Amino acid sequence: MSVLNRLSAATRRRPTRQGARKRLTDSFERLRTSALPIVQCALAAGLAWWVAKDLVGHQQPFFAPIAAVVSLGLGLGARLRRSVELVCGVTVGIGVGDLLVSLIGSGPWQIALVVTIAMSTAVALNSGPIFAMQAGNSAVLVATLLPPGGTGGPDRMVDALVGGLTGIAVVAMIPTHPVRRARRNAAEILATASEVLRKVETGLVENNPKPIEDALKQARATQPAIDSMRTHLKGGREISRISPLYWNSRKRLAVLTAAADPIDHAMRNIRVLARRSLTLVRDDEILDPRLVQRFAEVADAVDVLREMVLAEPGEQPDQAEAARVLRSIAKKMDPELIAGAGVSATVVFAQMRSLIVDLLQIAGLKRITAIATLPSTVEHPAYDPDE
């Protein structure tokens, strides 16, 4: 390799100031997002140790803070289930381990057998990964450290229960907002959807595939945000049940939960829409300018949906306002827009109609009602269109 090539390669490997700044920003954002769960885990660990040692009377209740941290974790979803799985896993592991070690003793093959039976029992009883893992861990502990028939096994079961219950109590006392994080995810996805639609429109107007290619990459990158939204919704449902501070948030949470599937489906339709639009441009197929205009109109409507998701109760726009905007676009999706058109134009038209149905469901309409807002494409439609 020449000196020039080596210098060029070294330059590419050297982190740029912009790259370092981005990594620092990403790290700060991760820390900001995880700050409250970290505080909850730390507080639960300390409280669990205090309860198990000073109130219950265990001398070395090391598993109580471990159980509290494991049951909470940094993820905000399914914490109640994690706590139950942990306690049950410990119970199964200690029970199986104590019984078998009393019969067959302790050693390499005994440990392997005890772990196999304990984890197999846990998997047969429950599919949760924490359940099986804690059963295996507890079986190892019994087979190596705790004397059979002693109090170590039952004490550890009590410590697991203390840790799990303490974790739940901390979540109830210092809860995350059950709606805010999921709402932020939904708004982020909708903002991306609007931007993608505008880029596709630009590519169609300019007959240029580059903006559409960029839009397609952007649309495909939304799946982590969708997964995060679902996780936060699951965690929000738990918080709204166990924390009296947020019992009044259940209605808002139910509305956002109902919108989760339509948001997911809308992004899937947008990806297909972008792919087919890219094919259309590459094939130099003509698209009715009125249909091209629908992209900008739907993007504007998605912006209204985003504002609706972020709005507090009583603020505008609400679901009724978002539905009104979308209905006005739906009525323009007449089959005459693709009269004599090619395959790609027809697919774009169909995908746009499907997308509008998804968006109307985000605005609170039932699917049948949303379909009925569109002009009919057949003589005898399954659902009569609104007049």
pLDDT, position 14: 54
Bond prior to 317 in cis (omega within 30° of 0): yes
Residues 6+ away with beta carbon under 8 Å from 31: none
Residue 198 binned pLDDT confidence (cut-offs 50, 70, 90):
very high
Q: What percent of the chain is modeled with pLDDT above 90?
A: 39
Q: Average pLDDT of 349-353?
A: 94
**pLDDT, greater one: 122 or 214:** 214
Give the total residue count for the chain.
387
- Taking the C-alpha atoms of residue 58 and residue 178, their distance in angstroms, rounded to an integer, is 35
Domain positions in the chain are 36-173, 178-373
Tell me the angle at which helices 343-362 and 250-282 cross, rounded to the nearest 10 degrees: 170
Q: Average pLDDT of 67-91?
A: 71
Q: Evaluate if residue 373 carries a pLDDT over 90.
A: yes
Residues 6+ away with beta carbon under 8 Å from 356: 298, 326, 329, 330, 333, 370, 373, 374
Mean model confidence pLDDT for the chain: 84
pLDDT, position 15: 57
> Among all chains, which residue has been given the structure tokens 């109760």?
313
Q: What percent of the chain is modeled with pLDDT above 70?
A: 88
Q: Which stretch of DSSP H or E encloses residue 9?
A: helix 3-13
pTM of the model: 0.72
Q: Which stretch of DSSP H or E encloses residue 106?
A: none
Residue 36 binned pLDDT confidence (cut-offs 50, 70, 90):
confident
**What does CATH list as the number for 178-373?**
1.20.58
CA nearest neighbour of 190 among 275, 276, 259, 278: 259
Query: Buried b / exposed e across 270-299, counting CB within 10 Å, b at 16+?
Result: bbbbbbbbbbbbeeebebbeebbebbbbbb
C-beta neighbour count of 195 within 10 angstroms: 17
CA 66, 127, 36, 29 dihedral sign is: positive
Q: Evaluate if residue 257 carries a pLDDT over 60.
A: yes
Q: Average pLDDT of 321-338?
A: 94
**pLDDT, greater one: 174 or 220:** 220
| 3-class SS string, 139-184 | HHHHHHCCCCCCCHHHHHHHHHHHHHHHHHHHHHHCCCCCCHHHHH
**pLDDT, greater one: 146 or 100:** 100
Q: Average pLDDT of 40-66?
A: 87
**pLDDT, greater one: 5 or 368:** 368
Question: What burial class does residue 245 get, using C-beta atoms within 10 Å of its C-beta: 0-12 exposed, 13-18 middle, 19+ buried?
Answer: middle
Q: Evaluate if residue 360 carries a pLDDT over 80.
A: yes
138-195: pLDDT as tens digits: 788 777 766 555 556 677 778 878 888 888 888 777 767 778 888 999 999 999 999 9
**pLDDT, greater one: 383 or 252:** 252
The number of C-alpha atoms within 13 Å of 93 and in the hemisphere containing its C-beta is 31
C-beta pairs of 99-103 under 8 Å, 24+ apart in sequence: 100/143, 101/142, 101/143, 101/148, 102/148, 102/149
pLDDT, position 7: 43
> Among all chains, which residue has been given the structure tokens 């639960």?
44
